[in-house]
Amino acid sequence: MTDEQLLRYSRHILLDALGIEGQQRILDTHALIIGAGGLGSPAALYLASAGIGRITVVDDDVVDLTNLQRQIIHTEARVGMAKAASAQVALAAINPAVDVVPVQKRLAGAELDALVASADIVLDCTDNFATRHAINRACVHHRKPLVSGAAIRFDGQVSVYDLRRDDAPCYHCLFPEGEDVEEVRCAVMGVFAPLTGIVGTMQAAEALKLAAGIGESLSGRLLLLDALNMEWRTVKFRQDADCAVCGPNSGVRSGEYPGQSGAHHESATPACRPA
């Protein structure tokens, strides 16, 4: 670690639980952030400021005026710019030492699989269940820890799926694919601006803890936030032994991973399954 890095990250290094060793692990980490919207914005900003060595930002959308109420990584001057490129500009201004890789496209199949395989930690900041399940399958296959957040109206949620562990539940264990779940998005339902900041910042905190190898993650716990009344609830859950994705009889973890063929949309703020 250079003298400049020691100074920049001195407040992290002063933390007994983190120290120089933990900060070095953060510097050596590659984080994949899928979605540069309401959740991806604060998550990316905090990961860059904390020194994550490489950040790949994926989003196929462009900055719109309606995004600026909550997507704090973008500015009015960059309306019309690709969100991934706008994020790169913002992160470089905060910490030019971070290697930021913008990916402006819809990901599916082999491309998604390859990006997940190359990352150390994946942050799901997307807005639909099909995308979330595709990311989850890739993370299970490659045993990558997944940090997932969601926000709609005044309701938020965040959890970690530490898929490096054989007994860890995956996203499918909690939200089985194919269930009759109503998909809601902020474009039609609205979203409280600070809510996305709270949830996205918590995603960054969990990702940094995983990178540094400190503390207890949210694996096996789903945090639910009612921001209108500012009340938190915790729901504990375990791996589903019959899970079609991470269960012992699934081929996804064992290597018989077929890849995904569905379209991938990274956008503003993710859908939140009703609790």
Cα–Cα distance measured from residue 63 to residue 25, given in angstroms and rounded to the nearest whole number: 33
3-37: pLDDT as tens digits: 999 999 999 999 999 999 999 999 999 999 999 99
Angle, in degrees to the nearest 10, between helices 40-50 and 193-212 = 40
Cα–Cα distance measured from residue 116 to residue 18, given in angstroms and rounded to the nearest whole number: 26
For residue 129, is pLDDT > 70?
yes
Residues in the chain: 275
Cα–Cα distance measured from residue 176 to residue 178, given in angstroms and rounded to the nearest whole number: 6
Are β-strands 30-34 and 121-124 bridged in parallel, bridged antiparallel, or unpaired?
parallel
pTM for this prediction: 0.91
Backbone angles phi, psi at 214, to 5 degrees: -125, 160
Q: So what's the pLDDT on residue 247?
A: 87
Mean pLDDT of 122-132: 93
What percentage of the chain reaches a pLDDT higher than 70?
Answer: 88
Q: So what's the pLDDT on residue 250?
A: 78
- Using left for φ > 0, alpha for ψ between -120 and 50, and beta otherwise, residue 80 falls in left
Asked if 75 and 68 count as a contact pair (C-beta separation under 8 A), the reply is: yes
Topology classification of domain 3-254: Rossmann fold (3.40.50)
198-255: pLDDT as tens digits: 999 999 999 999 999 999 999 999 999 999 999 999 999 999 999 999 988 777 866 6
- 148 beta partners: 124, 159
For residue 123, is pLDDT > 50?
yes
What percentage of the chain reaches a pLDDT higher than 90?
Answer: 81
- Using left for φ > 0, alpha for ψ between -120 and 50, and beta otherwise, residue 46 falls in alpha
Q: Where are the domains of the chain?
A: 3-254
Show contacts of 248-256: CB within 8 Å, 24+ apart: 250/140, 252/137, 252/140, 252/141, 253/140, 253/141, 253/143, 253/166, 255/141
Q: Which of 88, 77, 185 is nearest to 130 (CA)?
A: 185
Q: So what's the pLDDT on residue 185?
A: 58
Locate tokens 């900060």: which residue?
23
Q: So what's the pLDDT on residue 263?
A: 32
188-203: pLDDT as tens digits: 689 999 999 999 999 9
Computed over every residue of the chain, the mean pLDDT equals 90
Backbone angles phi, psi at 180, to 5 degrees: -80, 85
- Element containing residue 150 per DSSP (H, E): strand 146-152
Residues whose CB falls within 8 Å of the CB of residue 223, separated by 6 or more in sequence, listed in order:
157, 158, 159, 202, 232, 233, 234
Locate tokens 């969100």: which residue?
83
Q: So what's the pLDDT on residue 249?
A: 78
